[in-house]
Structure 1
């Protein structure tokens, strides 16, 4: 098992809260982490996977009896969003016998999970998001940043013995999502349409999100595309990065940018089979940008929010970190090793008023390239943000 930095944080929640919710995409390691957590607590556990018919029927018909007769155990319920009526029952059982660490609830669809569990378990549950591997986690197993970037952060894909096996894993992962999961989440379309939809999103990675263009290309309605995008976001497949435009008296781009969260899935959808193919492909720059943005976003502390900035006259910044209504850090991301800044970047910093600014390239060096600008790699950038109090430190 690859050590996950959330493990210690979730352990603390288990010592206080009766229930802990772990949300994240499929195959990210939620089940493995949950079983490791109860092992560390030296408490017996009972595991139910609601994708298995027997487990689903057991809990849907006899949840109260099963839980009541296993009070000394931590009960892990996987894919809990498949049995939403269980949440009111859990509330009653918790209130009748409130013990810390009694339930670990795993879910891969955030909106349904959060809505139902928040209604029933408010004050009784702590939530944590487990996402694909971060740089420090991958490096703990001697995996380099370029390998993590190319293969993405799903543990089984990252640890595949060859790129051929990595490609096969991605192929089956995407196929499962298209043929099973997305229909269960509410995307009722043919597998061929969904496959085209995902490929179109991959080709729009890092670009402004235009619902009408996507709808016209697929032959479906504008509102249907919006609904599909929302579902994919809830399933942790994509991320929408919103523009920053508060208190700026300029003509600002107000459409969000779209990114696939996992860089490995992005590369598979572009048909890339090796890292050398990636460097020769037009998507390489946008892929590196999305990879860096995702690594930074996952480390931001509470109260710090990510945006991008773009005006109609050419000022542009890949990532802006905002606390309250105050932009704190501007970040330019380049695949080129040359840290030279364009006029659009310097104009953005003038507009935003940030005194801490980073240009991130693969090589880095923590070098000052001009006043208030540091040239660094992604690991150095995260350290800079930690020192500024904007990012959480991994202990």
Structure 2
């Protein structure tokens, strides 16, 4: 259970396997997908194959020969994106098993690259699998009292559970190095590790800022197309979030550039060499880091199918996070690292323009209080609790 921290996804995945032939679990490396899959497999008759192991890949070189023998069992395939040719065989397997009466709980596929894996599987497995994303630990998993630790270290299990802040930082530095030197090249991508590290670090310095591709390109000495390719890669690996601007108001002059966040606060701090809370609080990134932490937790708590964006007009109206829930209602969220439950006039103007259903201020206090203009100020834990209740 990942250091005795129960993952929220465990019951969700078990329910999905009880209703679907297959489930695809996406998430960056080292986020805990394998551990979670093993927890699920322990309660079922299951077999586990890791596509990073040569022996396991050889087993599936002729997949039907092996998988036909496993009918009735849950087959867990880890790092499935390393064998793209497997998806067609899995489609046939699922269809044959359905005809044989085995309609649910047949395959659990784990992958570390979202768009690549989705493109491969969407064509072959459409209507046969459901997709889920495993994030690093969230606040509702570790508890409100652990918020400072979660913020500083991030939510990757080995980083969060490390024996000291120094050990945690060392793990994250090794994680970054391994991604750059081994994992990314394993996808067949030829990007110099040092260039990509500089790009990733530049994003950390600009955490939560509007994407300025020209500035990034000039700083790296590369083309704008290269910057777009680097960003696409880190988004695809679920390490960076590209938060789109709200675009439904055609008559308004709105910002068109996305905001960019490194999704795990601990990785942001490792890229900037911030080991302690004192170092973080004294660094210019502190506001962007706090905002990124809150946004990731709020999106993780929102119901499946929620769309996230931000709002900023040329006139100064602004909302840090807009959540469009599956029922089409809008939640407007302001995020401030302050104990004062006040929002800007621009937040109210934007909320009125969009006719939002909920106005929330996530702030650095432990009290849930009504604010001005229908805004409710609350700590992050309370905001994520409210969103979870909607789902």
Q: Please, what TM-score do these two structures have when normalized by structure 2?
A: 0.93
Cα distance per residue 1:68-113 (max 9 Å; x no partner) = 2232432211100000001111122222223222211100101121
CA root-mean-square deviation: 1.9
On the 8 A contact 2:246/2:311 being kept in 1, the answer is yes
Deviation at 1:151, TM superposition (A): 0.9
Deviation at 1:24, TM superposition (A): 0.7
Number of residue-to-residue matches in the alignment: 384
Cα distance per residue 1:13-37 (max 9 Å; x no partner) = 2123222111111111111111111
1:363 aligns to 2:365 (yes or no) = yes
Cα distance per residue 1:123-169 (max 9 Å; x no partner) = 22121111111111112xx8611111111111111000101110111
Q: What are the within-5 Å matches in structure 2 for residues 118-157 of structure 1?
A: 118-139=122-143, 144-157=146-159
Deviation at 1:385, TM superposition (A): 3.5
- Bigger mean CA deviation after superposition, 112-121 or 101-110: 112-121
Return the alpha-carbon distance in structure 2 between the equivalents of residues 14 and 64 of structure 1: 21
| Equivalent residue in structure 2 for 1:270, among 272, 280, 298 | 272
Return the alpha-carbon distance in structure 2 between the equivalents of residues 355 and 124 of structure 1: 35
Deviation at 1:352, TM superposition (A): 2.5
Deviation at 1:303, TM superposition (A): 4.2
Q: Which runs of 5+ in 2 are unaligned?
A: none
On the 8 A contact 2:241/2:261 being kept in 1, the answer is yes
On the 8 A contact 1:246/1:325 being kept in 2, the answer is no
Partner of 2:86 in structure 1? 86
Provide closer, same or farther for how the CA distance between residues 221 and 325 of structure 1 changes in structure 2, counting only shifts above 3 A. farther
Helix, strand or coil for the counterpart of 2:304? Answer: coil
Q: Which runs of 5+ in 1 are unaligned?
A: none
Q: What are the within-5 Å matches in structure 2 for residues 179-194 of structure 1?
A: 179-194=181-196
1:29 aligns to 2:32 (yes or no) = yes
Q: Please, what TM-score do these two structures have when normalized by structure 1?
A: 0.92
Helix, strand or coil for the counterpart of 1:298? Answer: helix
On the 8 A contact 1:178/1:194 being kept in 2, the answer is yes
Partner of 2:75 in structure 1? 75
Return the alpha-carbon distance in structure 2 between the equivalents of residues 303 and 123 of structure 1: 16
Q: What are the within-5 Å matches in structure 2 for residues 1-395 of structure 1?
A: 1=1, 2-41=5-44, 43=45, 45-59=46-60, 61-98=61-98, 99=102, 100-139=104-143, 144-247=146-249, 249-323=251-325, 328-386=330-388, 389=390, 392=391
Deviation at 1:9, TM superposition (A): 1.4
Provide closer, same or farther for how the CA distance between residues 12 and 323 of structure 1 changes in structure 2, counting only shifts above 3 A. closer
Return the alpha-carbon distance in structure 1 between the equivalents of residues 132 and 325 of structure 2: 21
Deviation at 1:57, TM superposition (A): 2.5
Return the alpha-carbon distance in structure 2 between the equivalents of residues 208 and 250 of structure 1: 18
